[in-house]
Structure 1
């Protein structure tokens, strides 16, 4: 990894040209703190969790990384280049 590269805190790969800001606590729930993520990582988070669930149970990178489906996603993404993109399907039963 090159020195000084900005790293995605979710998948821990270097960020590419495209980056998105993720509110750890959704803005609608009063969140202000953001982290830079790959677009694919950001979309995966929002495909799995409703904003109320993010605010209540997954308001940190550590909590997100501890979710089994996020863990499988990170493992799958590990050898992909920084600007890799693929469609993200919404998980079945995401919104209770």
Structure 2
């Protein structure tokens, strides 16, 4: 399962004197991540994936409902392959103007 918090440091670690680094951009949509960062495996762990990338929860949910694990494995770490899908391109255009912490229900993939 993807982590929803940073791998480094405790959630209680706050340093008021030091300026916080800018949030990392989402791997799929490129927008800055908000207060909740989901660490997603572009290649599913069940398919041998080890690397993680920062994503919004809504972006991760869209990927999971749109693609199978086999399709995600074939795309690998290349987000442009996923963005070529019309459903993902439409989603990224729609979410581009939303707040970084925006989240909504995702419709299920018809089977």
Q: Which has the larger radius of gyration?
A: 2
Q: Give the alignment's Cα RMSD to 1 decimal.
A: 1.4
Would the aligned equivalents of 2:25 and 2:32 in 1 still touch at CA under 8 Å? yes
Output the TM-score relative to the length of structure 1. 0.86
| Gapped regions of structure 1 (runs ≥ 5) | none
Q: Tell me the SS of whatever aligns to 1:69.
A: helix
Give the equivalent residue in structure 2 for 1:22: 40
Give the equivalent residue in structure 1 for 2:56: 38
Output the TM-score relative to the length of structure 2. 0.75
| Greater percentage in helix | 1
Q: Tell me the SS of whatever aligns to 1:92.
A: coil
Matches of residues 1-96 of structure 1 in structure 2 within 5 Å? 4-56=22-74, 58-59=75-76, 60-93=78-111
> How many pairs are equivalent?
90
| Residues 2-46 of structure 1: CA deviation (Å, up to 9, x unaligned) | x83321121111100111111111100101111110000000000
